[in-house]
Amino acid sequence: MKTENAAASARSYGDSLTHVRSAHWGQGVGTLWRITRMALRHPWQAAIAIVSTFVAAGLQLMIPRLLGRAVDQTQGVIAAAAEGAETALFTTALTLLVVSVLRGIFTMLQNYFGESVGHNVGYELRLACYEKLQRLSFSFHDGVHTGDLITLGILDIDGVRMFFSTGIVRFVLLSVLIGVGAYLLISTDLVLGLVSLSFVPFVAWRSSVTRLRLRAIWLALQERLSIVSRVMDENLGGIRVVRAFAAREHELEKFDRASAKALKLAHERTRIRVINTSAMNFSFFLAMGLVLLVGGNKVIAGEISVGVLASFLAFMAILQMPVRQLGLLVNAFARASTCGTRLFDLLDQDVAIEDAPDARELTVTDGVLRFEDVTFRYPGNDRRLVLDGLSFEARRGQTIGIVGPPGSGKSTLAHLIPRFYDVTGGRITVDGRDIRDVTLQSLRRAVGIVQQDTFLFTTSIENNIVYGDPWANERRIGRASESAQLHNYVMSLPMEYGTVVGERGVSLSGGQRQRLSIARILMLRPSVMIFDDSTAAIDAGTEQRIRGAIRRFADDRVTLVISHRLGSLMHADQILFMENGRIVERGTHDELIAKQGRYRALYDLQINPGGDVLDVTGGAA
């Protein structure tokens, strides 16, 4: 099934987020080309950055020649005190100033537009990733930790974003500086040129090796930091549990262990960087000393002028940084390849739950919901059917109660109706139409579900209630809130409906959060309403009033009530008792009581605990 493939992809994707993968060469090149194509979607910005890089590099290579000429002209002025020599020196100095200013301007253009292209790519990737995450099915999110996705959305996008400026633009810059610079040195004096470039192979090698090692350690450090973030997120999310069980010391120790592992990797990165930087600096200054020795002898012998020797030293100073940046260039390519592979793995994920090619809008007329021999297993669980041969029908105006022990498949049944998952076998229909043949938007507009785990956004009570219909008027908001028995409480707050709830609704009690969630669904007046244990945290009196209000809403729609408490569904037109994914009993409350079966046994435990309790076979226990 498609959902199984999605779950397998999610697990594989989760592994790729937490392990350093060695991408195949062809895949790496394909990833870099894909990133480059994204950068080229901004052609004029990319063109300005590349052209500015060529011009800035060319101007930078002029500076050593101009400095050498200035040195020779200065010697001429001192030796001859000629007016023409002073004029020539002044002209050279002015030219050097102009070249330096122009180089600065073009370098600024290179950096600005290079970064601009990168930020545009990052913006597009963030939107694409967020949009993809909104579309991926529950089966994907079940297999991936949220912290890993957040890490991807920050660090990996940043790695791809920087590729244009640190990879492509830097490649152009280093190619011009090193290639043309080496040619100019060797063409001026072969021996002195080779001595000047003697540090280049060693620095290039050490820089590349160091950067790759640092990259590998950084990926490991990124994984450790992701674990640190995960530990912190879980701790802060469950801070009340931590305090309630006096587990502060345990949590601190757990966080300290995770942080210590990250710190060890950070120290290792520092050690490698310091050692190799020192080695590269030593090789550079050693080469410069050799240039002074060889070049000085040539000056004494009259083979070259002092200005030529000065230009060689200036060339070396200019080449030092580009050569050392070869490692950064290799790192940029490696980082973009690794980060891009993970990002594109996400963007290329198949969406398990999506509209069929010929899907049509769902228009509810008769309002008949039907399960036809539905079977379902969660993706990746090949052994156990969660639902097995489920069949029932619910008509407009009817309320179906669903009860059963934990793990019997009640919530799974609810999640199949709005297509959070697709059935493994059989089908679910609304007015005879398979829900897989209608658009997701129209289906989820017709099906409203109040889930077991209530989620509230960190915004005002009003905004949480109108989440499904932001343009609803105050009258509709008030009616939905009154039906959910929330209105009086809200009006007692200082800012009434404008009161901001805490993160995930932490400032509200469990019952208040559930009532707000009920109001959010009642606002939409869907054709099928599903209440999945949605009153578990509400007191009996308030629940009874909510049930009365819901019954008024339920007159012209299908209502499914899932609950462990029989008091929540005794009024239902039909009650389904589920066990091990199957419906083992069905009927009205009175019919099921008369059957003396599982429902009756549960009834005796909850409603009549002082009387005789029947076992599941109907005998007295």
Rounded distance between C-alpha atoms, residue 503 and residue 237, angstroms: 9
**Residue 361 included in any domain:** no
Same domain assignment for residues 253 and 379: no
pLDDT digits (tens, 9 = 90+) for 465-524: 888 888 888 888 888 888 888 888 888 888 888 888 766 555 677 777 888 888 888 888
DSSP assignment of 104-145 equals HHHHHHHHHHHHHHHHHHHHHHHHHHHHHHHHS-HHHHTTS-
Residue 45 belongs to domain spanning: 2-347
pLDDT of residue 6: 46
How far is it, in rounded angstroms, from Cα 34 to Cα 590?
66
Please choose, from the candidates 438, 430, 471, the residue with its C-alpha nearest in 3D space to the C-alpha of residue 557: 430
Q: Provide the terminal-to-terminal Cα distance of the chain, rounded to the nearest Å.
A: 45
| CATH at 447 | 3.40.50.300
Question: Would you say residue 11 has pLDDT above 70?
Answer: no
Give the pTM: 0.70
Is residue 4's pLDDT more than 60?
no
Residues 6+ apart with CB under 8 A from 544: none
Distance of CA 189 to the CA centre of its chain: 55
Question: Given this model, what pLDDT does residue 262 score?
Answer: 82
DSSP string, 316-364: HHHHHHHHHHHHHHHHHHHHHHHHHHHHHHHHT---SS---TT-B----
Question: 304 and 428 share a domain?
Answer: no
Number of domains in the chain: 2
Strands 425-430 and 369-376, bridge-based pairing = antiparallel
Domain assignment present for residue 420? The answer is yes
pLDDT tens profile 524-549: 888 888 888 766 656 666 667 777 77
Q: What is the pLDDT of residue 22?
A: 42
pLDDT interval class at 113 (50, 70, 90):
very high
User: pLDDT value at position 274?
Assistant: 83
For 299-411, strand residue ranges (E) read 369-376, 387-394, 399-403
The predicted structure's pLDDT at residue 610: 56
Q: Which of 153, 168, 131, 219 is nearest to 38 (CA)?
A: 168
Band of pLDDT at residue 82, cut at 50, 70 and 90: low
pLDDT digits 0-9 by tens, 386-432: 888 899 999 888 888 998 888 888 888 988 998 888 888 999 999 88
Given 347, 382, 402, the domain boundary residue is: 347
Alpha carbons 528 and 521: distance in angstroms, whole number: 10
- Mark whether 256 and 405 lie in a shared domain: no
Rounded-to-integer distance, Cα 480 and Cα 448, Å: 14
**Strands ordered across the beta sheet of 387-394:** 387-394, 369-376, 425-430, 433-434
* pLDDT tens, residue by residue, 224-248: 877 787 777 777 777 777 777 777 7
Number of Cβ within 10 Å of residue 287's Cβ equals: 20
Domain boundary residue, one of 298, 313, 347 = 347
CA distance linking residue 404 with residue 402, whole number of Å: 7
496 within some domain: yes
CATH number at residue 21: 1.20.1560.10
Q: How far apart are CA 91 and CA 103, in angstroms?
A: 18
Percent of the chain with pLDDT over 70: 86
Q: Which residues pair with 246 in a beta bridge?
A: none
Q: Looking at the domain assignment, is residue 207 inside a domain?
A: yes
Same domain, 134 and 202: yes
Domain's final residue, options 284, 314, 347 = 347
Does 611 map to a domain? no
Share of the chain above pLDDT 90, in %: 7
Strands, E, within 404-556: which ranges?
425-430, 433-434, 447-450, 528-532
Q: What is the mean pLDDT of the chain?
A: 79
Q: Decide: helix, strand or coil at residue 406.
A: coil
Cβ atoms < 10 Å from Cβ of 305: 16
Q: Return the SS3 of 565.
A: coil
CA distances from 392 to 190, 429, 437, 554, 582 (A): 91, 11, 20, 19, 11
List the one residue out of 197, 223, 179, 174 whose CA is nearest residue 328: 174
- Specify which residues 587 forms β-bridges with: 575
- The values of phi and psi at residue 183, to 5°, are -65, -45
